[in-house]
Amino acid sequence: MKKLLMLTLLCSTFSAMAVDVIVNPANGSALDENEIRKIFIGKSKSFSDGSKALPITQVEGSAITDEFNQKVLNKSSSQLKAYWSKLVFTGKGTPPKEAENDAEVIKLVASNPNLIGFVSSGAADGSVKVVKSF
């Protein structure tokens, strides 16, 4: 019984939520992990087809945001906050707008072909297109 409990605790410690990166279905751009990272840290302002790319994140401190920051941006939330603070202070960038939850991100991305966002795996519906899962 103790072994089963320890195994369960160990597995739950290492399990993480999956993240889906979504765009508007009209967006035909091919996006790889590097391009997604560049868009979300402000180093790229357009999709591969030349159209404007506007990233949208979820509120700071949410589990899905922390997971996205770690898996995709390879930064902790505090590292990302320091990164954006420096860019804002020097006038070289502004952080992405924030949405409250998966539903709001989906609604915004579905209504604007320039937006790119992330949601919990499985949250996306037919109004958006999943371009990458992490």
Q: Is the pLDDT of residue 43 over 50?
A: yes
Predicted confidence band of residue 91 (pLDDT cuts 50, 70, 90)? very high
Tokens standing for 55? Answer: 């990233």
Q: Is the pLDDT of residue 111 over 80?
A: yes
**pLDDT at position 1, please?**
55
Predicted confidence band of residue 8 (pLDDT cuts 50, 70, 90)? very low
pLDDT tens digits, residue range 114-129?
999 999 999 999 999 9
Binning the chain into helix, strand and coil, the percentages to the nearest 5 are 40, 20, 40
Q: What pTM, to 2 d.p., does this model score?
A: 0.86
At position 4, the amino acid (one-letter code) is L
C-alpha dist (Å) from residue 87 to 37, 99, 102:
16, 21, 27
- In CATH terms, the fold of domain 18-133 is D-Maltodextrin-Binding Protein; domain 2 (3.40.190)
pLDDT tens digits, residue range 44-67?
999 999 999 999 999 999 999 999
